Amino acid sequence: MVDTNKFVSLINVNKFYDNGMHAVTDFNLDIAKNEFIVFVGPSGCGKSTTLRMIAGLEDISGGELYIEGKLANDLEPVDRDVAMVFQSYALYPNMTIYDNMAFPLEMRKDMLPLLDKDGNPVLDEKGEAKLVLRKYTKGEIDTRVKEAAKILEISDQLNKKPKALSGGQRQRVALGRAIVRKSKILLMDEPLSNLDAKLRVYMRSEIVRLHEATDSTTIYVTHDQTEAMTMASRIVVMSKGFVQQIGTPEEIYRHPANKFVASFIGSPAMNFVDCIMDKNVLRFSDGHEVTLETSIIDWVKKFYTEQLADHKANEAKFIEERRAQLEREFKAQKHLRKKEFKFDETTDKEVIKYKEGIAKMEELIKTHNYPLIFGIRPEAMKEDEKGDEYEVLLSELLGDEYYVHLMFGGKECLAKVPAEKKITKGTKIKLSFSLDKVHLFDPITEKAIF
Amino acid sequence: MTNSISESNLKLFDRLLLPFRRFKDLFKASKTYGKVALLIEVILIGFGPLALGQIELGLLLPLLMYALSFGLGFIIAGYIGGTILISVVSFIVILLILLAAIIALWYFTFNKTTTLVIELNKGENVFNSYIYNALNLLVTSIISWFKEFSVQYKAGDKKVKTLLPLSFFTFGIPLIAFGEVIKGLALLLAQLLGGLYLIARGVNDIQNFIHLGQDHDFEAPIVYGVIAFTVVGLMLFFYIVSIKQTLKAANKYNTKRLGENFKKQLYNLVDKNFYITSLFVPVLGALIFTIIPLIFMIMLAFTNRSNREFPGYSTTASVGFLEWVGMDSFKRIFADGANLQDLLSVFAWTMIWALLATFTCFFGGLLLAMLINKKVIKCKALFRSLFVVAMAMPQFVSLLVMKAFFYDYGPLQTFLTNIGVIDGSSPMALWETEFTARMLIIFINMWVGIPYYMLLMSGLLINIPKGYYEAAKISGASRFKQFTRITFPNIMFMTAPMLITSFVSNINNFNVIWFLTGGGPANSSVSGSAGKTDILITWLYKLTMQRQDYNFGAAIGIIMFIVTATLSLVVFRNTSSYKNEEEYR
Amino acid sequence: MAKTKKEASMKRNRIIDTIWSNGLLIILALVWIIPIVWVILASFSTQTEFMTDSVFPKEYTIDNYVRLFTETDYPIWIGNTALIAVTNTVLTTLFTVLTAYALSRFRFKMRKLFMNITLILGMFPGFMSMVAVYFIFNMMGLIDSIWGLLVYYVAGAGLGFFVCKGYFDTIPKDIDEAIHMDGAPHIVAFIRVYLPLIMPIIIYTALLAFMAPWADYILAGILLSDTNRTVAVGLYEWMDEYHINSYFTLFAAGSTLVAIPITALYISLQRFFVEGISAGAVKG
């Protein structure tokens, strides 16, 4: 019996390209049935590549992919029961919309009820239809296409060709083509990027509704964090081929695992200010101080001790992996293949950084002097009569609220303030924030301490 | 856009001069070896690359350069001394072309030397020999195969241990046993057919090919020999493929990965492996009807196959049997003065012709397209269609018609007589005079070729954004300026490669010359075989089909190939579409 | 109607421009058309000699056309050439397009090698392989058979993939992937999606393939005998110095007949032809 919590499983999936580039590193994820998973991250982070590996359009260089409990690495896309929506829609230009949507059904065989000569399903003793692997009949195709067209509200476009449709309509056809097969897994590769902003907002909810109506498991790729936050049941944040964090939108928003996730998710982005933690006080460059609860200090100490131990233990491994990666890239370049690969760990930038990191951490623990990165979201700064006063450097009106630029801790930061009164440059406002909305990051590894 | 094009031209010029400007600094910055190499390049011109370890290139380039220089000297001496009788024009053209080639070669060696010294200074190893690399590749490949073989053998069970050694002797049977039925069957078939052919006649044919000595059916041993060698080559290829595939199959079997069943393999022939199905017939066709014939002709050049007799040379006509004569056919080019003159004159005219033909049609078409495109012309489509009619007529018909048009007592002469311009009693002899014949050829080629370019240019002119012209008009640019700064650069940008392709194909333009003049008028002054309007390819035709001087013809063909190949390669290397085809994907 | 001096002179310039532009164009058009008109008229001439007193015929008759079919081998030539042309169109287009598709859509080890070899083969004077082919055909017994010609044409089909491939290359990879995801094998993709998209270029290729046998003099001359000719070889002979005086009007008639359908095809498919040339030129 298939473990529905592991409807789709990726175990240590890696992707190497011929030019040596390591596009996806150690991707691990279990996807439960009916989840709406979003891979989000900047361009080049590996999200599309991972999606394509799940689809079967790219080979999996290392690791395993399981779909419904079966090892799927070597399966053709057709055999994986996945359907895909492409960023450019990839509609067949010379066919009508009807034919575009009928095409997937014409091409495959599925377990369908056995039909007798008159087209009626043959029933067994229990009164249930017997399933056989066969092609779809014209009638069945017709029903399915019309069904999908109705859900997507394009029933009156069926006789037109793609070039006669608008961008939004074409996108629906692409969706229609994907759902017509009623496949268990739906893959979407940035389907909304080519639409204008308003349409995008509208389609976001449409896609989620579609996901629920078709009872599918959806894996969705986007670079837009708003889409990720509003649509996902769980988000996978990626950067440079590595998974940064996996969690529900709330988890990711409230407890980002590192500085990257914190800055990527949430708009406008979180404010980051350097500070130094001295005993239980955070001191900023302009003298401003924030007092902490003692518990945070212990937490920080513990964090660094663990990190140091971890780094020391993995130092050799890190160097070896770095060497292997450089060698891979070197060997991949044809004109250098004849030459010798040289690796000097004393001059390699990454290795030096790693070692410096260890040294810094040792230093920190000795001196109890921790330089940290203080993070606070603009929306966490609230107007408070008892708060500190700030002078507004610039204010941007968004209708119902202002983005206010001000100096905090010696750095220009952003605060979101409701637009109850007019705020302009030079206005003085009083803001405060609660300590549980404060995030602290380690400047060496950029991981979140708190 | 206009600025960037003139800017890029400037950059090109700067780039060309770069090696020379760098030289002094480079010399100072180099270590001993580099300094020595640079000096060698300056003193022993052309041998720089060789000194730096470029074996084949380093030998070939200076050799070529010196050979051409020697040839140039020889021609100049012959011309001035009166032993080489060619026209002034031919002489100048040959001079220019040879000088250009020599300078280009020298520039190339110089550039290469400086580039290599820079790399040398960085500590890189600059040795490069294609033969060495090929041998190295061969040896390392064989070693890696053996390594892989032992890996799979050790990891395998009894089945693998019996099948793997078998793969050295038979193609295909181990593959079938491993489940790759289609690949296995195909390779097995190849082995059987090839093997049978070789045993039945192939080995014999190769022996005949090496010794020749036929006294009849002269072509047979050469053709069969080439075929036999091709079969051997193919067998070798399939042998390598079969070993590689067997190792791969063994690996799959050993790691217990899914194989594909027979049905799936058949399916793959129209899916993943559809390219094999698609390319099978075309590749076979190209091999049999293009590649093998070509090799045959090349071989022919080194035999004595000729139905004419030449004192001092062996020909099948004079000695009665076929034999290898090495470079004799090529020697005949230089030894016999008439031949050399023929070659030089024909080569010169070929170049002049190709240049004129290409440029007159290109610019004529462009100007005509611009004329029709003007706002003041109504019925554009009608005019275009009229010109298209001229192009649509089958080329040989229009050529023959135009030839007749200018015949003695033909319609032109009749017309001119009737309006009293000339006296109709004596023939105009337009086709009998060298100069007028050549002029007519160019002119008639324009008649045939301009409509084609006109259509092309019409399509391209539309693609130039009107905005440029409007901006130019506002700043008061004259029409001429608009042409030189907007139209011309844009068109050139889009069609520069085509211009060069056109040039190369005009060098091989048999039809126009043949149908109009048959290569004539005949060269009566010296007893050569070439006519006054012959280009290389028509001369080749005459030599082969009419004079039946087969080996000489083949030799000329080879020379032609070298010329056109060099030109084309230089162009295609830099053609953007060839380099950037990946961008479309 | 009093306009400014500038407008008046601009209008005058415009009139001058119109006159000389149109005039020049008409003259050029005449230059291009006159030889064609001459031949067509000559085909109806009563005088069979080439050397006549007047440029255009004085008396007209359709006698020449009749003689073409009753007294000469012309019908045989037309038949041969038409047969080859039609078969060539089908087969050559098929193989050229298949080759282009394979090279564009697949990546396999020998691919670049194949393209490079094709390039190099194209640099040989085409004539060289023809002589060898004569010898080979002689041994295969294909001399004096029009099928021999056909075999040669079709065998070379794979080498002319360049323009077709350029066109295929412009189709985005996405479509391939969508087809792959939909479960269709490449051959289905080829027939149902690619061929319709490439129609203009296919028509261009087919047009060229159709036209080639009508114009081929060299190979047809080598391979075929006197009785089994194609049109190009036959008509050529009528125009040489021995025959021209008696055969000229026959030649005119024969040429006109051949030219009509081909020209008609050309003009009606002009659009595809232009697309093909531009594609070939711009894409290099």
Q: Which residue of B has its CA nearest to A75?
A: B258
Strands A242-247 and A62-67, how do they pair? unpaired
What whole-number percentage of chain B has pLDDT above 90?
Answer: 5
The verdict on a CB contact (< 8 Å) between B124 and A339 is: yes
What are the residues whose beta carbons fall under 8 Å from the beta carbon of A136, sequence distance 6 or more? A105, A106, A108, A110, A112, A144
Closest by Cα among B138, B256, B237, B251 to B186? B237
For chain A, say whether C173 makes contact (Cβ under 8 Å). no
Q: Would the pLDDT of B224 be above 60? A: yes
Indicate the CATH number for domain B336-576. 1.10.3720.10
Structure tokens at B550: 């087969």
Strands A36-40 and A242-247, how do they pair? unpaired
Q: Residue B291: how many CB atoms within 10 A of its CB? A: 17
pLDDT at B574: 59
Q: Would the pLDDT of A43 be above 80? A: yes
Alpha-carbon distance of B197 to B191, in angstroms, equals 10
Interface test with C, best of A79, A92, A180, A334 (most C CBs within 10 A): A92
> pLDDT (tens digit, 9 = 90+) per residue, B494-549?
777 778 778 888 888 888 888 888 877 776 544 567 788 888 888 888 888 788 88
pLDDT band for position C284 (50/70/90)?
A: very low
Q: What is the mean pLDDT of residues A415-433?
A: 87
Alpha-carbon distance of B274 to B266, in angstroms, equals 10
For chain A, say whether B258 makes contact (Cβ under 8 Å). yes
Given the cut 0.85, state whether the ipTM is greater than it: no
Structure tokens at A243: 């998974």
Q: Would the pLDDT of B577 be above 50? A: no
Cα dist from A420 to A397, A400, A401, A417, whole Å: 11, 8, 8, 9
For chain B, say whether A334 makes contact (Cβ under 8 Å). no
pLDDT band for position A336 (50/70/90)?
A: low
The verdict on a CB contact (< 8 Å) between A74 and B125 is: no
pLDDT at A264: 93
The verdict on a CB contact (< 8 Å) between C172 and A88 is: yes
Q: Would the pLDDT of B174 be above 80? A: yes
Using a CB-CB cut-off of 8 Å, the residues of chain B touching C124 are: 294, 557, 561
Regarding pTM above 0.90, the answer is no
HSE, side-chain direction, 13 A CA sphere, residue C259? 26
User: A429-443, B107-121, B303-317, B479-493: which range is least confident on average?
Assistant: B479-493
What whole-number percentage of chain A has pLDDT above 90?
Answer: 39
Q: What is the mean pLDDT of residues A218-241?
A: 94
Equal CATH topology for A1-81+184-261 and A90-180: yes
Q: Would the pLDDT of B426 be above 50? A: yes
pLDDT band for position A338 (50/70/90)?
A: low
Contact A20, A329 (CB under 8 A): yes
pLDDT at B328: 83
Of A55, A91, A95, Cβ closest to residue C181: A55
pLDDT at B584: 34
> pLDDT (tens digit, 9 = 90+) per residue, A192-203?
998 988 999 999
pLDDT at B5: 52
Using a CB-CB cut-off of 8 Å, the residues of chain C touching A86 are: 174, 177-178
Interface test with A, best of B251, B258, B267 (most A CBs within 10 A): B258
Q: What is the mean pLDDT of residues C223-245?
A: 78
What's the one-letter identity of residue B169?
F
The chains found to touch B (3+ Cβ pairs under 8 angstroms) are A, C
Number of CB pairs < 8 Å for A and C? 55
Alpha-carbon radius of gyration of chain B: 31
Of B285, B388, B557, Cβ closest to residue C158: B285
DSSP secondary structure letters along A245-264: EEE-HHHHHHS-SBHHHHHH
The domain spans of chain C are: 5-63, 72-282
Q: Which residue of B has its CA nearest to A74?
A: B258
Domain C72-282, second-level architecture: Orthogonal Bundle (1.10)
Using a CB-CB cut-off of 8 Å, the residues of chain A touching B257 are: 74
pLDDT at C258: 85
Using a CB-CB cut-off of 8 Å, the residues of chain C touching A108 are: 182-183
Q: Would the pLDDT of B6 be above 70? A: no
Contact C166, C201 (CB under 8 A): no
Q: Residue B31: how many CB atoms within 10 A of its CB? A: 11
B27–chain C nearest CA distance, Å:
38
The secondary structure of residue A426, as a DSSP letter, is T
Q: Which residue of A has its CA nearest to C174?
A: A90
pLDDT band for position C2 (50/70/90)?
A: low
The chains found to touch C (3+ Cβ pairs under 8 angstroms) are A, B
Structure-model confidence comparison of residues A447 and A5, the more confident one: A447
pLDDT at B9: 60
The verdict on a CB contact (< 8 Å) between B540 and C125 is: yes
Alpha-carbon distance of C99 to C165, in angstroms, equals 8
Contact B387, B368 (CB under 8 A): yes
Q: Residue B194: how many CB atoms within 10 A of its CB? A: 19
CATH class, range A90-180:
alpha beta
Cα dist from B64 to A334, B56, B72, C18, C89, whole Å: 30, 12, 12, 57, 45
Q: Which residue has the tokens 């830099």?
A: B574
Q: Which residue of B has its CA nearest to C123?
A: B565
Contact A186, A151 (CB under 8 A): no
* Residue B171: φ, ψ to 5°: -90, 140
Of C127, C236, C267, Cβ closest to residue B537: C127
pLDDT at A247: 94
pLDDT at B116: 84
Q: Which residue of C has its CA nearest to A108?
A: C183
Name the burial class of residue B525, with classes exposed (0-12), middle (13-18) and buried (19+) by CB atoms within 10 angstroms of its CB.
exposed
Q: Which helix (H) or strand (E) holds A237?
A: strand A234-239
Q: Where are the alpha helices (DSSP H) in A181-278?
A: 197-213, 225-231, 249-254, 259-264
The verdict on a CB contact (< 8 Å) between B124 and A74 is: no
Strands A428-432 and A439-441, how do they pair? unpaired
Tell me which fold the domain A1-81+184-261 belongs to.
Rossmann fold (3.40.50)
The verdict on a CB contact (< 8 Å) between B125 and A339 is: yes
Q: Would the pLDDT of B246 be above 80? A: yes
Number of CB pairs < 8 Å for A and B? 4
Interface test with A, best of C168, C171, C180, C181 (most A CBs within 10 A): C181
CB contacts under 8 A, B 101-130 vs A, are 124-125
> pLDDT (tens digit, 9 = 90+) per residue, A52-82?
999 999 999 889 999 988 889 888 888 898 9
Using a CB-CB cut-off of 8 Å, the residues of chain A touching C188 are: 107
Q: Would the pLDDT of C279 be above 70? A: no
The domain spans of chain A are: 1-81+184-261, 90-180, 262-273+374-441, 293-370
Q: Which helix (H) or strand (E) holds A50?
A: helix A47-55
The verdict on a CB contact (< 8 Å) between C197 and A93 is: yes
* Residue A277: φ, ψ to 5°: -95, 120
Q: Would the pLDDT of A400 be above 60? A: yes
Cα dist from C220 to B399, B403, C143, C152, C231, whole Å: 18, 21, 10, 11, 9
What are the residues whose beta carbons fall under 8 Å from the beta carbon of B429, sequence distance 6 or more? B408, B436
The secondary structure of residue B487, as a DSSP letter, is I
Q: What is the mean pLDDT of residues A38-65?
A: 93
pLDDT at B579: 44
Q: Would the pLDDT of A248 be above 90? A: yes
- The three-point CA angle B118-B119-B120 to 5° equals 90
Structure tokens at A367: 């001196």
Using a CB-CB cut-off of 8 Å, the residues of chain A touching C172 are: 88, 90
Name the burial class of residue A75, with classes exposed (0-12), middle (13-18) and buried (19+) by CB atoms within 10 angstroms of its CB.
middle
Q: What is the mean pLDDT of residues A248-252?
A: 94
Q: Would the pLDDT of A274 be above 50? A: yes
DSSP secondary structure letters along C39-81: HHHHHTBS---S--SSSS-SSB-SHHHHHHHHHSSHHHHHHHH
Of B220, B447, B561, Cβ closest to residue C123: B561
pLDDT band for position B258 (50/70/90)?
A: low
A17–chain B nearest CA distance, Å:
16
The verdict on a CB contact (< 8 Å) between A90 and C172 is: yes
Structure tokens at A235: 């988000």
Most confident of A205-209, A436-440, B422-426, C249-253: A205-209
Alpha-carbon radius of gyration of chain A: 27
Indicate the CATH number for domain A262-273+374-441. 2.40.50.140
Q: Which residue of C has its CA nearest to A57?
A: C177
Average pLDDT, chain A: 87
Interface test with A, best of C112, C174, C179, C182 (most A CBs within 10 A): C182
pLDDT at B585: 31
Left if phi > 0, otherwise alpha if psi is -120 to 50, otherwise beta: which for B519?
left
Most confident of B71-80, B253-262, B332-341, B402-411: B71-80
**Which stretches of chain A sit within 8 Å of chain C by CB?**
55-57, 77-78, 82-84, 86-95, 103-104, 107-108, 177
DSSP secondary structure letters along B18-45: HHHHHHHHHHHHS-HHHHHHHHHHHHTT
> pLDDT (tens digit, 9 = 90+) per residue, A374-393?
999 999 988 888 888 888 99
